[in-house]
């Protein structure tokens, strides 16, 4: 990642995609650790319904751990773990 300091507010409004190019959501807010002066999570809204389905209502969002972030540019790329979580839920439904 680029170590150049940026205003953290510049992340708000950016779209988030998995490293496979799947749209995840849009950054609405950030979770901060003020003691360490670090971003610890991304609060996403406008979520991709194909990934989250009925698990997350339209009025709610999710917080992704910042450690999942692979790169930050015009968009934010995160590990494809989001897709794996969805796949695991679908496997449980099949086994039930």
pLDDT confidence of residue 93: 55
Which structural domain range is residue 29 located in? 10-95
The answer to the question of residue 4 being in a domain is: no
Centre a 10 Å sphere on the Cβ of residue 76 and count the other Cβ atoms it contains. Answer: 23
Q: What is the pLDDT of residues 29-51, one digit of tens each?
A: 999 988 998 889 999 988 888 88
Q: What is the CATH number of the domain that holds 59?
A: 2.30.30.240
Q: Can you give the pTM of this predicted structure?
A: 0.74
Centre a 10 Å sphere on the Cβ of residue 94 and count the other Cβ atoms it contains. Answer: 6
Instruction: Provide mean pLDDT across the span 16-32.
Output: 91
pLDDT confidence of residue 16: 95
The answer to the question of residue 50 being in a domain is: yes
The answer to the question of residue 5 being in a domain is: no
Centre a 10 Å sphere on the Cβ of residue 82 and count the other Cβ atoms it contains. Answer: 25
Q: What total number of domains does the chain contain? A: 1
pLDDT confidence of residue 37: 85
Q: What is the pLDDT of residues 69-81, one digit of tens each?
A: 999 989 999 987 6
């Amino acid at each position: 990642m680029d170590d150049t300091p940026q205003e953290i507010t510049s992340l708000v409004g950016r779209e988030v995609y998995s490293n496979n190019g799947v749209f995840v959501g849009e950054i609405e807010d950030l979770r901060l650790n003020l003691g360490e002066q670090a971003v610890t999570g991304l609060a996403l809204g406008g979520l991709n319904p194909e990934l989250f389905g009925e698990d997350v209502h339209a009025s709610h969002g999710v917080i992704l751990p910042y450690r999942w972030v692979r790169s930050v540019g015009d968009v934010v790329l995160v590990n494809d773990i989001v897709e794996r979580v969805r796949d695991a839920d679908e496997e449980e439904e099949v086994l039930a």
